[in-house]
Amino acid sequence: MLYAVVMSADLPPFPRSQDPLRETELFQLGTREEEPCLRADAARNRARLLEAAARLIAEHGAAGVTMEAVAAAAQVGKGTVFRRFGDRTGLLMALLDHSARQLQADFMSGPPPLGPGAPPLERLRAFGVAMLYRSVEQLDLHLAAEPEPTRRYSHPSYRAVGMHVTLLLRQIVPDADCELLARTLLAYLDPAQIHHLTRECGMPMERLEAGWTDLVARVTQTAPPA
């Protein structure tokens, strides 16, 4: 349970409009509708809507998040929610993006083994465990926000983690097709599969962790940790 003690089931605090961009935001996570320099009132409205959506999820689950419910909870018109996020999927993806920023900050500048300072193989193992626990803690949100096939793999959060895993693999197995191997590894961490294995098959997280470690060893042709 390497990452469970770090990640909280609660979303991290929503950023204020005056927060500066940091190096950890290199991959530019966020939805297409998220302008780089929102007006102060627009940024406040966006944070207010996301906070309202997060409260609804905490109280009623992801199924309780509708555009109408979020508008009512934030005390704004429904049109405001649609203008900001486009549709329900866009709103839920914005919530996931916010959580993904914290994970990205951890693997780009946090402490090892997830962050810099550990060998790439150790970082890859830690990354998978972190993704497993993040998915389990927010599984309902992940499933509700699952984008349509044409949007799924082009989403900034998927591209960010894909780039990270690819870069680690290039340090471990430089002669391999690391981009395709990265997609193979990320398929193991798919939230829909995690839902099936944990909730429908009753597999414990310890087995999924061990499976990730074994998969990394086989893909990279390295020895598993002692």
Q: What is the pLDDT of residues 151-166, one digit of tens each?
A: 677 777 788 899 999 9
Tell me how far apart the alpha carbons of residues 186 and 46 are, in angstroms, rounded to a whole number.
30
Question: Does pLDDT of 83 surpass 60?
Answer: yes
Tell me how far apart the alpha carbons of residues 144 and 146 are, in angstroms, rounded to a whole number.
6
Give the pLDDT score at 94: 84
Tell me how far apart the alpha carbons of residues 35 and 30 are, in angstroms, rounded to a whole number.
9
> Tokens at residue 194, please?
């995690």
State CA 26 to chain mean position distance.
15
Helix 78-85 × helix 67-74 angle, to 10°: 110
Range in 94-108, 125-139, 141-155, 161-175 the model is least confident about? 141-155
Determine the 3-state secondary structure of 192 from DSSP. helix
Tell me how far apart the alpha carbons of residues 222 and 217 are, in angstroms, rounded to a whole number.
5
Contact (CB, 8 A) for 96 and 141: yes
The percent of residues in the chain predicted with pLDDT above 70, rounded, is 80
Give the pLDDT score at 221: 95
Contact (CB, 8 A) for 57 and 141: yes
Give the pLDDT score at 12: 42
Question: Does pLDDT of 5 surpass 70?
Answer: no
Q: What's the whole-number mean pLDDT along residues 191-199?
A: 93
Tell me how far apart the alpha carbons of residues 10 and 31 are, in angstroms, rounded to a whole number.
21
Q: What's the whole-number mean pLDDT along residues 129-153?
A: 80
